[in-house]
Amino acid sequence: MIAIYARQSVEKENSISLDAQIAHCKNIITKGDIKEYVDSGYSGSNINRPAFEQLMEDIKNGLITSVYSYRLDRISRNILDFANLQEFFKKHNCGYVSATENLDTTSPMGRAMVNIVMVFAQLERETIAGRIKDAYFARGKIGAFLGGGCPFGYTTAKADLNGKTMSILHPDPITAPIAKDIFEAYTARRTSLRAIALSLNERGIKTSTEKPFTGVGVGRVLTNPVYVACVPEMYDYFFSKGYQISNPVEEFDGTTGCLLFGKEVGHVNRSYNPIESQILVKGAHEPLIDANTFIDAQYQMSKNKSLKRAGTGKRSWLTGLTKCAKCGYSATVMKVRSYHYFKCSANRHTGVCKNNKMHPQKKVELFVERELLDAVRNLNVDKLCPEQTGQPSIHIRQQLIKIDQEIGKLVEALSMADGSSASKHIIKRIEGLDNQKAELSTSLNPPPPLNVQKMLDTAKKLLSGWDGADVQTKSEWASTFIEAVYIGQDSIKISWNI
C-alpha cells in the first residue's frame, strides 16, 4: 500500500492546502492502493504528530511500501529526525518520494539529494525561528507585554509604542491593591508564604489562572520584578545577580515598572533558563511597589531557605528567629522527658558546632518577650523616620552605579596589566573614581524605612493583645521587630529590625 502524508502547521493565504498537497501526490502515483495520513496544525520541527505516528506504526507492521509527500519538509524540517527516518524506512523496505522535488530514496543519487535538501530545510527553519525570536525580543525591549499568563494584579491594554500598537500591562483596580498587600504582609508583617496563601483563599481570591493560592504561588508574586519601579537600585540588584539588562542605567528613572523575559523555555516540558540568559528591561506599565520593598522580600525569602518556616512552629513563637551565636545555624526546640529546650541544630544533628548548651524554652521566651515589649513601648518614631538632610537624586544613584561599573572594568584591566607601567595609571584612576563615589554618597539621603506605618500598627496590636495571642500571631508580630535571637553558651542577644 502507498501512503500519502500531508502536513500544514498553520493555514496561511500563501501556503498550499492539505487537499492540494494530496492532489499533487496522486498525480504522480500510477498504480496501487492509497492511504492518506493528514496532520493539521503541527510543526515540522519534530515528529510528534498523531497521523505521522500512525504512519510509522503501519510501516513497522509492513502495511506501507512507499511514502509520498508534497515536499520533503512536510515530513520533517529536522536533519537528525529525517536521518533516523531514512534508517527506519530502509529497515522496513519502505521508499520515500517527494512529489515536487523529484526526490526518490530508492536510488543512491536520490538519497544523496534528500540529505542536501534537508540541510537547506533545517537552515530555513532555524532562520525563520531566529527572526521570530528577534522580533519577540525587540518588542520586549521597548516595554511591550510579550504574552503568556498575565501577572496577578495586572490586565493588558493596547498602547502605541514606537509607532506600533502593542499590548502593555495595566494595573487591575481589584487585584492590584491585593498584590501590594502581599508584599506588605511578607516584608512588614513578616507573614509566612503559607499564611498569606491561606488568608487569600479564605477571602475567595484566586490567582491570575483562577486557581487557589499556594505558598509557591505567593512566592512567584514576590519574586516577579514586574511590580517594581524601574530605578537604579533595581539595575544594581539584577546586575549584581548576573542578569542581562537591556536598558542603560540612565533610563532607570522610576517612571515605569520592570519586565523580565527569557526566564522559561517550552510550553509543555517547561524548564528555566540560567540567570545569565534572562533579560531585565524597562517596561511601559505603572509599577505597584518600590525597589526597597522588593529587595527586602528577596532577602527575606533567601534567609528563610536556611531557617525553618517562620511562624509555623507549634512549640514556640520564636521558631525561625532563634540562631546559634557560635555557628549561625538555627537553634530549634527539642524535648527531653517532659521539658523543652532550645539547642543549636548543628550541634544536635552533626556535632560540628561545639555549643552544646540547652536553654529552657520558657526562660528564653520570657527573656525575649520582656525585651520585645520594652522595645515596642519605647519605639522611637524619629529614629524610624530620620530627618532628611541630604539631597536625594535618582541621577546621583545612576552615577554611583556607572562609577562601580567603570571601577570593575579597571580592576579587570589591572589584572591584565601584570605590573606594567600602565598599572600606576589604572590605580590612580580607580582611586579618583573611589573618591568621586565617596563625595556623591555623602549627598544622598539614607533610603526611607520600609512600611513604617505598618510597623506602628503592629506595635499597637502587639501591646494591646500579646497575652491573648496564639503562637502564629506572636511569631508574626515578633518577626516585624526582631531580625534574630542569638543563643550562646551563657548569653542571649537580640538583633533588631528597628
Q: Which three cell numbers stand for residue 344?
A: 543549636
Find, among 361, 352, 392, 305, the residue nearest to 487 by Cα.
361
| Model pLDDT for residues 451-463, shown as the tens digit of each residue | 576 778 888 899 9
Query: Distance between CA atoms of 124 and 45, rounded to whole angstroms?
Result: 11
H-type helices in 69-145, by residue range?
A: 72-75, 79-91, 108-141
Rg (the chain; Cα; Å): 32
Helix axis angle for 176-187 and 291-305, nearest 10°, is 50
DSSP 311: T
pLDDT value at residue 305: 56
Higher pLDDT, 143 or 243: 243
Q: Which three cell numbers stand for residue 24?
A: 499533487
pLDDT value at residue 277: 80
Q: Which three cell numbers stand for residue 184?
A: 506588605
Confidence of residue 118 (pLDDT cuts 50, 70, 90): low
Q: How far is CA 458 from CA 27, 297, 461, 480, in A?
A: 82, 18, 5, 8
- Over residues 79-88, the mean pLDDT reads 76
| Under 8 Å between Cβ of 159 and 284 | yes
Residue percentage of the chain with pLDDT more than 90: 31
pLDDT value at residue 59: 94
How many residues are given for the chain? Answer: 498
User: Has this prediction a pTM greater than 0.75?
Assistant: no
Q: What counts of helices (H) and strands (E) characterise the chain? A: 17, 18
pLDDT value at residue 130: 67
Please name every residue paired with 161 in a beta bridge, in sequence order, or none if there are none: 164
Query: Distance between CA atoms of 123 and 131, rounded to whole angstroms?
Result: 12
Confidence of residue 416 (pLDDT cuts 50, 70, 90): confident
Confidence of residue 15 (pLDDT cuts 50, 70, 90): confident
pLDDT at 41 over 90: no
Q: Which three cell numbers stand for residue 85?
A: 527516518
pLDDT at 359 over 90: yes
pLDDT at 439 over 70: yes
pLDDT at 438 over 70: yes
pLDDT value at residue 302: 76
What are the boundaries of each domain within the chain? 2-138, 154-305, 322-384+450-496, 394-442
Higher pLDDT, 41 or 445: 41
pLDDT value at residue 428: 79
pLDDT at 306 over 50: no
Q: How far is CA 203 from CA 135, 177, 197, 212, in A?
A: 41, 14, 10, 11
pLDDT value at residue 309: 44
Q: Which phi and psi angles does 459 have, rounded to 5°? A: -60, -40
Among 89-93, 135-139, 393-397, which range has the highest average pLDDT? 89-93
- Over residues 123-151, the mean pLDDT reads 70
pLDDT at 133 over 70: no
Query: Distance between CA atoms of 421 and 431, rounded to whole angstroms?
Result: 16
Q: Among 9-23, 336-350, 356-370, where is mean pLDDT lowest?
A: 9-23
Q: Among 94-98, 100-104, 163-167, where is mean pLDDT lowest?
A: 100-104
| Model pLDDT for residues 247-285, shown as the tens digit of each residue | 888 888 888 999 988 776 655 555 677 888 888 889 889
Query: Distance between CA atoms of 403 and 406, rounded to whole angstroms?
Result: 5
- 2-138 folds as Rossmann fold (3.40.50)
pLDDT value at residue 353: 79
Confidence of residue 312 (pLDDT cuts 50, 70, 90): very low
pLDDT at 163 over 70: yes
Q: What does pLDDT average to over the chain? A: 82
| Model pLDDT for residues 47-74, shown as the tens digit of each residue | 889 999 999 999 999 999 999 999 888 8
Task: Please state which of the four CATH numbers 3.90.1750, 3.40.50, 3.30.200, 1.10.150 is assigned to the domain occupying 154-305.
Answer: 3.90.1750
pLDDT value at residue 98: 86
Query: Distance between CA atoms of 5 and 44, rounded to whole angstroms?
Result: 12
Residue percentage of the chain with pLDDT more than 70: 81
Please name every residue paired with 39 in a beta bridge, in sequence order, or none if there are none: 7
Higher pLDDT, 2 or 349: 2
